[in-house]
Structure 1
Amino acid sequence: MELRHLVYFVTVAEERNFSRAAARLRVVQSGVSAAIRSLERELGVPLFERTSQRVALTDAGTALLPAARATIDAAQAARDVVDEVRGGLRGTLRIGTLISVGFVDLPGLLGHFRAEHPAVDLRLRAAPSGSAGLARSLLEGELDVAFLSLAGRPPAGLSLRVLAAEPILAVLPAGHPLAGLDAVTLEDLADEPFVDSPPGYGNRNEVDRGFAAAGLRRRVALEVADIATVAHYVRNGLGVALIPRFAAAGAAPGVRVLPVAGARLRWTFGVATGSARRPSAAVRALLDLVDAYRVEMPG
């Protein structure tokens, strides 16, 4: 079994498309198809269901995927050892991030990393499914590192390095009947329409947890993926919000920001890796840079 065939298999599994996999691997599509057929002949089972509309893993392909990733990781670890002796890093670093990353200068971090390690291929993707999607991609081996927000303890199989923890504050339109108070409670807000992130985002999960713990229900009227824009929806009378202090600090005129009494709502931001996999030399080098690119937020 050739390592190259496993790399092609994992790439097709991640892309769910032979053409995109070939483009990512920078080879012709016929070469990818031939490698997959060779692997299927060797194993004696089909690994993909192929139709004109989609490419999907079979049960055998699903079973092979984690073992294939582990084999590729082990081979990369061997290369890392040699590269460190030679004084240079190589390979691919797959990074996931939230749409809004306020506490790390990510462009600066990646620019510094590229200057220091030009032979490492950086791949960055934002998560439309929020922190839950990033965590799942780490656990499944699709990402090497992710900047995310997790409510409570990180899932088993993840190592989390906390970079910031902030209180979640209430944001109300300036003319709201509660805007003149010094603080509000979850009970005060329970009947209001909310502007919030979609399910799976760290701040949404934390606020949902807080309402459930208080035995209260609420209605999310608008779901906004970019937390930096939530206060603008509030300002225009579309609801109230509970968002981290860093996002509330930049709220536009026309809103009132208040502490939440009687509930300890915290937003936690950090950088995570899969604990079941040995971090590559490139991952370790990136983590070493993180502290230098942390941003001190106002307030």
Structure 2
Amino acid sequence: MELRQLEYFIAVAEECHFTRAAKRLRVAQSGLSASIRSLERELGAPLFLRSTRQVELTPAGRALLVEARRALSATDAAKDAVAAVQGLLRGSLAIGSLQCLHVVHLPAVLARFIAAHPGLEISLRQGGSGELIEQVRAGRLDLAFVSRPARYPDDVLVEPLAGEPLVLACAPEHPFAAREKVEPAELRAERFVDFPPDWGTRDLVDSVLTAEGVERRVSLEVTDVHSLLDVVTFGLGVALVPQSFSVKTDRVRFVELAGAVPAWETVTVTGDPMSAAAAALLHEVHEARSGRGPGAVAC
């Protein structure tokens, strides 16, 4: 099995079409098809269900796709390691991030990082924590900044970055707005605003309230912080959010939660082994966190 065969296989799997895959790779379709057939013979199983319009992965193909991406990612990491020894980071670095990353000002860090490593191609995407962790595991991302999940795959590396308490966000006219502290169990009758499942703080809030016997109603779901706070401002619901959200608006009241409530943690997730480019970016992030680089700010 050759790396080129895996590269061809991944392209066909992602394009669902041999012609489009050949154009993307800038190779002859006949050569690409022959390479796939050779790979199927070597593995003793068909990888695609072929039709006149498109191709679909077989169960064997779906199993191979995860490992093929991982193998190519490991190859890139090996190349990066050699380049890093020579003092030249090159290749690509795919990053995932939560929509609002308070613990570090990622654009400032990336600007500094790209200036130091102009030969490196950077890509960035946002999403929910579970989705981003799975993309790291599958080799589609090198590094992700996410909230700590209850569980994560064994084949990724997880490193704590920062933690902060949850607080109650409510409208200024809400009865809880004048309180110093609120017990989580008191929120039983409240209508909630939150992010979709597996997004932002949703999983942690669910676990905190479930532990208090609170079966909550999430009446409104949003996918960005500022929309959440706007909805809370107008009294359409309350939310449990990281304390850092309090710097974003003065139109919402933020009230401390009583009792031993688990902190919301931001972690970094990388492949195992970690690529040289991901390690270099993490170094920049820690420099920023320590005050020797672009500082941590609220988004």
TM range (shorter): 0.7 to 0.9
Q: How does 1:8-23 map to 2 (within 5 A)?
A: 8-13=8-13
**TM-fit CA distance, 1:16:** 5.6
> Cα distance 1:162–1:223, how it changes in 2: closer, same or farther (>3 A)?
same
- Tell me which residue corresponds to 2:292: none
* 8 Å CA contact retained: 1:150, 1:202: no
Amino acid in structure 2 at the alignment position of 1:269: T
- Tell me which residue corresponds to 2:253: 256
**TM-fit CA distance, 1:73:** 3.6
- Tell me which residue corresponds to 2:270: 273
Task: Give the TM-score of the pair, scaled to structure 1.
Answer: 0.85
The answer on 1:292 being equivalent to 2:290 is: no
> Cα distance 1:156–1:45, how it changes in 2: closer, same or farther (>3 A)?
closer
Deviation by residue 1:22-44 (Cα, 9 ceiling, x = unmatched): 68x56369489535455335544
Amino acid in structure 2 at the alignment position of 1:91: G
- Tell me which residue corresponds to 2:124: 124
> Cα distance 1:69–1:167, how it changes in 2: closer, same or farther (>3 A)?
same
> Cα distance 1:263–1:17, how it changes in 2: closer, same or farther (>3 A)?
farther
- What secondary structure is seen at the aligned counterpart in 2 of 1:211? helix
Unaligned runs of 5+ in 1: none
- What secondary structure is seen at the aligned counterpart in 1 of 2:179? coil
**TM-fit CA distance, 1:81:** 4.2
Tell which deviates more after alignment, 34-43 or 217-226.
34-43
The answer on 1:247 being equivalent to 2:251 is: no
Distance 1:246 1:39 in 2: 52
Amino acid in structure 1 at the alignment position of 2:274: P
Match of 2:135 among 134, 137, 140: 137
Amino acid in structure 2 at the alignment position of 1:183: K
Q: How does 1:1-299 map to 2 (within 5 A)?
A: 1-13=1-13, 27=26, 30=29, 34=33, 35-50=35-50, 56-127=56-127, 130-152=128-150, 154-253=152-251, 255-274=252-271, 277-294=272-289, 295-297=295-297
* 8 Å CA contact retained: 2:170, 2:238: yes
Tell which deviates more after alignment, 209-218 or 25-34.
25-34
Distance 2:112 2:131 in 1: 27
* 8 Å CA contact retained: 2:102, 2:296: no
Unaligned runs of 5+ in 2: 290-294
**TM-fit CA distance, 1:152:** 4.6
* 8 Å CA contact retained: 1:151, 1:268: no
- What secondary structure is seen at the aligned counterpart in 1 of 2:165? strand
Distance 2:133 2:199 in 1: 11
Q: Percent identity?
A: 43
Amino acid in structure 1 at the alignment position of 2:190: E
**TM-fit CA distance, 1:214:** 1.2
Report the number of matched residues: 292
Amino acid in structure 1 at the alignment position of 2:237: G
Distance 1:171 1:237 in 2: 10
* 8 Å CA contact retained: 1:198, 1:204: yes
Tell which deviates more after alignment, 67-76 or 205-214.
67-76
